[in-house]
Amino acid sequence: MAIELPPLPYEHSALEPHISKRTLEFHHDKHHAAYVNNFNAAVKGTDLDKLTVEQAVKATAGDPAKQGIFNNVAQVWNHTFYWHSMKPGGGGKPTGALASKIDADLGGYDKFVEQFKAAGATQFGSGWAWLVLDGGKLQVTKTPNAETPLAKGQVPLLTMDVWEHAYYLDFQNRRPDYITTFLEHLVNWDFAAKNLAGA
């Protein structure tokens, strides 16, 4: 039961001019697809082949013998979550229950922005910045490489890919500009609010 590459939730050009069609063609059609293919090839004929993506992430996390499989399946999950963390016409401030919770747990939207920018900018090398629910409280966090809060007992609400392949064609070395653009023009607060409501 091979897993499949989920389609992007919007057209490849839908995030322009902020993230180009060319970036999403490489990022989704090549990088995300490669993680799917690598995972399928590695687990073919094993018990891991019977699991959902989420189950396979949890089943391989922290097992040195399964590091390669974890890297690929966690990247499959992280990327699908990332596509939904953005939307055309996104960006700006959240509203409603999520906004109130950011005020209560993080000290307000401006503090969230400060922490999220720092998480993305200080993740050395490749990785991810996250807004998660940890023990019922919001937390901004970062993970290296394929690591994911899903495997740490946290509830992911939102993520931003800070691997160079996410921004290099559009922003070259200017990761901070990509992060600012993500927050001002792309972030999908509806998705984060839905994840909070379902937690």
- Site of interaction with Mn ion (CB under 5 A): 161, 163, 166
- Least separation in angstroms between residue 197's CB and Mn ion is 27
Smallest distance from the beta carbon of 47 to Mn ion, in angstroms? Answer: 28
Q: Which CB sits closer to Mn ion, 34 or 99?
A: 34
Name which of 32 and 185 has its Cβ closer to Mn ion. 32
CB of 64 to Mn ion, least distance (A): 24
Q: Which residues are paired to 134 by β-bridges?
A: 137
Nearest CB to Mn ion, comparing residues 138 and 187 = 187
Element spanning 100, H or E: helix 96-106
Q: What is the dihedral of CA 185, 190, 193, 197, to 10 degrees?
A: -170
Query: Of all residues in this chain, which one has the CB nearest to Mn ion in the complex?
Result: 161
Q: How far is the CB of 126 from Mn ion (least distance, A)?
A: 8
φ and ψ at residue 134, rounded to 5 degrees: -130, 110
CA geometry: angle at 29 spanning 23 and 34, to 5°? 115
Closer to Mn ion by Cβ: residue 80 or 94: 80
Decide: 73 and 60 in contact? Cβ < 8 Å. Answer: yes
- Amino acid at position 113, single letter: V
